Structures are given as C-alpha cells and as structure tokens.
A and B are shown apart, each in its own frame.
Chain A
C-alpha cells in the first residue's frame, strides 16, 4: 500500500466527501471528517519521510506513463506543503463542531463538512499533481468549495464577498488556463517535468513569454498579491471563523506553491529571473504589499479584517524572499509559509473562540477580555508576537532567514525596510493588547467565560507549535532547505 501513498493522500478526503452525504447526522459527520483529515495527516508524514529518505516519488495514474497520462510527482516541496495543509486542517477541525454550532444553521452542518473536505481535496490535489491541466481542475474544486464556504457566513456581506471572490478567482483561473494553453501550443505537452525540458528550446518566443505572464498574473490573483488583493479582506472577515482559520493558514500557501513551481520548475530559474524583470517586479510589489497592508491593518476596527490585512502583508514577506531567488531566500519563503500557517491558524481560531463567546470581533468588544478569557487572549498575544517576529517564536526564524538572504545579496536597504515593516505589526498588535488588557470590562459582559476546551486545545496546540518551532528549528529548516535546494538543482 505504501507505493500508493501519493494518490491516497488525495482520494481519501475526496471519497470521504460524498460519504458525508450518506452519514447525514452532524456529530457523526464531524467525527468522520476529523478521522479522515487525521488519516490524511498521517499519510503526509509518511510521504515526507519517504521523500526525505529516497527522493522524489512518481506515481502514474491509470498506469499510463507521462506525458500521455497524468502523473503525481512528490518531492520535498510538495511533501512539505501537503504536511502543512493536512496538519492545519486537522487541528482546525478539532474546534469545528463547537464553532459552527453558533455560526451556521444546523441543517447545513453536513453540507459544511462536505464542502470542507472538498476544499481540502482541491488543495491537496493542486500540490500533489505533476500535470499542468490537472492543477486547473483541482484549483476549481478548491475554489468552488471556497466560494460556498465563505457564503455560509452569517452577515449578508459574506454573500457579496463571496461573489467578488468568485469573479476574481474565475478570472484568475481563466488566465491560468490561457497560459497553460499557450504553453501547450508551443511544446505539445502538459506534464510539468516534460514542459521543463521542452520549454528552453522555445524560450525565446513571444508566445512563451506571454504564457508565463498569464500564468503568473492568474496565480497572483489567487494569491492576493498586492495590488490584486482586494477580494481577500472581506472574504476572510465575513466567512465563518473556522473557514477563515483554515483558508488563512492554507489557501494562499497553495498559491505560493504554484508560483514557485511554475517559475522555478516549469519555466526554469534562468527564464523566470533573467529573461524577465521578475526579481525587481516582485521585490517592489512585495515591499509595497507589506507597507500598504500593514498600514491598512492599523486602521481596522474589526479584528478579523485587521488580521486579514496582516495576511496580505505576510504574503509580501514571502514574495520578497521569493524575489531574492537564492537558496537562502527561498528557504526563508518556505519557512514563512510554514510559520505563517501556524500563526494565522492560531490567531483566527482564537478569534473564532471570541466570536463563540461574544458574537462579535469588533475591537471595542475586546475590552477587558484579557481577564475574562485569559488563555484565549494569551494565545492571541503570542500569535501577535510571532507575527511581529519576536525571538523565540517562529516568526523570528523566518524573518531571520529572510534578512540573511537579503544581506547575502548586499541588499541592505530592503533589509532595513523589512525591519521597518515589522515595526508596523507592533502597532496593530499593540492596539489589540491595549484594549484587551488595559481597559475595564464592558458593562453587561461580566458573565463572559473562558472559551470551551474544544477551542483551547487546538489553539494551544498551534501556539505551542509556534514556540516549539521557534526554538527548535532543525526540523522545519531542514525540510525547507531540502525543498529549496532541490528547486535550484543543488544536491543537499
């Protein structure tokens, strides 16, 4: 069975989704979803072990050899992403039943879990596949379920946010489709491995240049890279808390993965970074993303919106690391992908707990919560510190690598700007801390209690991970470095 792990990774949640329809009873469906997600998590650990021990795994679907059939190709980068997605999904699910009991009507619970599993499937499918068109199909599975999940939010603005996301997302996907079509036109193949060997022959043509541009713009729409980020804040704010926690921690990471996969593996380093001014372009966009989004975050009164903007800023850091295009830079990006998933997972889950107890995440409602929900607020504070990049948290590790990468290249001004950007995070985190700890309790809210255990356990698992991987960096750095090196073709 071990040889079938790559496909099991995707089809276990996939087949579980229709089974949910047969189970029907919400608590049962929840338990089932949780078990399936844990199973996927175990599979991803096994996959990572296999990859680290024996190198890239190739799995031919339908028994047809690539490029005629579709193949799954798992290297260190894929395995790393699969691990992040399944881990976050499992932890978030622990809190799901409690959280949605207040946010989603009961008759929709079964459908919620079905969509959740489909969304998980979509993301895993994108990451696992080695076929460019298959990426598009699974991208749509994850997007369609994402639109429906976001629209489940209680506020009517969730509907509008979801519609905007749908329009932007579909434009993005269609751009990717055009890009893939042009690529196919010039090479006659859809397999990524095959593409990477056949593209250099035609790299000088205008068609390949345009195809690259379309794929990259399409991915950036999905990634919410500044200035294409407009759909993200509303979508994250009005979606149900569990959905926000899951997507904030995983969805943009998948887009980052696609960006790396297409520019490093498919088109190749020399094409992406020498033929095109991608380096300077992404550097500028990344930096402006950090500043614009961080400043916007400072002015938000809804905490979910605040952290949504902070997500856009964090994407900026990942993009800056990417634009350095060295092994260290890419390692920093991958580390930040991992670390940001941990931070935002913890933060949005904690906000979910606040939502559960108070029914709102407006800044003014946080008054005095530091005493009433000490454990939840402590988690938010640690998550916030991690976001800033304080030593002993994961945020520090990835920023440290990012600064190293920049200094290696002698890009001092950029390094200074990165540090300045982090200071902006101090401002928006501090605003929350100030209200929660130094303001008296609101009248009429004295009865607010600490969040239930079903919230606290997953929140603190993530917080502990934030601290653990901030101190013991061996595991995460080793995997991220292996992934980065394999992309640069350096043997570890």
Chain B
C-alpha cells in the first residue's frame, strides 16, 4: 500500500501547503501564489492518475503497445488555462486594490473599511 499510494500522498501534502497559504496569509500576492500552488498540485494529482506502468506518451506510433491515459491530460490542459485566467484576473484586482486602498494586506484593507463605515 505504501508503494502503491505514496505518490498521491505527496500530492495531497503539496495541495494542502497551497491551501494553507491561501487561507492563512494576509498578503494578497501570497494568497494568489498559494492558489496557484493549490491548483498546480491538483493538476499533478490528475496526471498521476493517467500514468500506466510501462506506458508511453499518448502519441500513436508503430511498435508501441501501451499508452498512458490521454483523457486526464486533456482535462488538465483545460484546467491550466482556467488557472491562468483566474490568476490574471486576481492580479488585476490586486493592482486596483493597491491603487484604491494603498495596501495589499488583508488586515489594512479591513481596517480601512471599518473606519469608513
């Protein structure tokens, strides 16, 4: 069991590092970095599922019997694009927040909002 699943366990640890950064850190850039790590780890998780022992890249060629599963690859291609789209939008928001609040720390922003109320 240890040998069969260790790959997934490492991925889970990576995911959780990313997830922790997102929820624990107050700096918006760090949050975005955390989100990227979280998502990338999920990609690794999908790609690990696709691997077949003794398989090769799913590009048809003569003399190859066993290929890795192409479907997760396709899904993750889409997911990577979604990820970069989210990152771009989040960064744009961060730039605007910096302009409007003068800070990108969650703490300062909330302070300023509370004062305004």
Do residues B39 and A174 form an inter-chain contact, with CB atoms below 8 A?
Answer: yes
Q: Could you tell me the distance in whole angstroms from the C-beta of B7 to the nearest C-beta in chain A?
A: 13
Q: Is the CB of A148 within 8 A of B42?
A: no
Cβ–Cβ < 8 Å partners of A137 in chain B: 78, 82
Nearest-neighbour CB distance to chain B for A123, whole angstroms, equals 17
13 pairs of residues in contact across A and B, judged by CB atoms under 8 Å:
A137-B82, A140-B82, A140-B85, A148-B89, A151-B96, A156-B100, A160-B109, A163-B90, A174-B42, A177-B79, A178-B45, A185-B49, A190-B75
Please tell me if B22 contacts chain A, counting CB pairs below 8 Å: yes
A184 CA to B48 CA, complexed, in Å: 13
Instruction: Annotate A110-146 by CB proximity to B: 1 below 8 A, 0 otherwise.
Output: 0000000000000000000000010011001000100
Give A156 to B109 CA distance when docked, in angstroms: 10
Q: Of B72, B86, B113, which is within 8 A of A157 by CB?
A: B113
- A160-B82 contact, Cβ under 8 Å, with A133-B75, A147-B93, A167-B35: no
In the A-B complex, the 10 residue pairs with the closest CB atoms = A156-B100, A140-B82, A163-B93, A159-B97, A159-B96, A185-B49, A181-B46, A170-B86, A166-B90, A160-B109
Interface contacts beyond A157-B113, A167-B31: sample of 19 additional A-B pairs, CB < 8 Å, sorted by A: A133-B75, A133-B78, A136-B79, A137-B82, A140-B85, A144-B89, A147-B93, A156-B97, A159-B96, A162-B93, A163-B94, A166-B86, A170-B86, A171-B35, A177-B42, A181-B49, A184-B49, A184-B72, A190-B75
**A-contact bits for B1-37, CB 8 A (1 contact / 0 none):** 0000000000000010001001000001001000100
Tell me the bound Cα distance from A171 to B90 in angstroms.
13
A contacts with B: majority SS: helix
Residues of A within 8 A of B82 (CB): 136-137, 140
Residue in contact with B22 in the complex, picked from A144, A163, A171, A185, CB distance below 8 Å: A171
Among A133, A166, A185, contact of B93 (Cβ-Cβ < 8 Å): A166
Pairwise interchain contact B113-A160, C-beta atoms closer than 8 A:
yes
- Total number of B residues with any Cβ neighbor in A under 8 Å: 31
How many Å from the CB of A40 to the closest CB on chain B? 24
Q: Which residues of chain A have C-beta atoms less than 8 A from B75's C-beta?
A: 133, 190
Closest CB in chain B relative to A139 CB, distance in Å? 9
Q: Shortest CB–CB separation between residue B57 and chain A, in angstroms?
A: 20
- Asked if A181 meets B89 with Cβ closer than 8 Å, knowing A156-B101, A160-B101, A163-B94, the reply is no
The reply to whether B100 and A163 contact each other, CB–CB distance below 8 Å, is no
For chain A, the bracket of interface size reads 20 to 34
* Interface 0/1 of B90-117, CB less than 8 Å to A: 1001101100110000000100010010
Q: Are A159 and B28 in contact (CB under 8 A)?
A: no
In the complex, what distance in Å separates the CA atom of A178 from the CA atom of B49? Answer: 12
A residues in contact with B85, CB < 8 Å:
140, 144
B46 surroundings in chain A (CB, below 8 A): 181
The answer to whether B22 and A167 touch across the interface, beta carbons within 8 angstroms, is yes
**How many angstroms from the CA of A483 to the CA of B15 in the assembled complex?**
38
Cα distance, A84 to B117, chains bound together (Å): 36
**Which partner residue on chain B sits nearest A234 by CB separation?**
B113
Distance in angstroms between the alpha carbons of A160 and B103 in the assembled complex: 11
Q: Which residues of B contact A190 (CB under 8 A)?
A: 71, 75
B86, chain A: closest CB distance, angstroms: 5
Chain B 36-62, CB-CB to A under 8 Å as 1, else 0, gives: 001100100110010000000000000
CB neighbours of A177 from chain B (8 A): 42, 79
CB-based contact B86/A144 at 8 Å: yes
Expressed in whole angstroms, the Cα–Cα distance for A174 and B94 within the complex equals: 21
Collect the chain B residues with CB atoms within 8 Å of residue A156's CB: 97, 100-101
**Nearest-CB distance from B117 to chain A (Å)?**
9
A398 to chain B, nearest CB (A): 34
**Which residue on B lies nearest to A165, using beta carbons?**
B93
In chain A, what residue has the closest Cβ to B110? A160
Collect the chain A residues with CB atoms within 8 Å of residue B100's CB: 156, 159
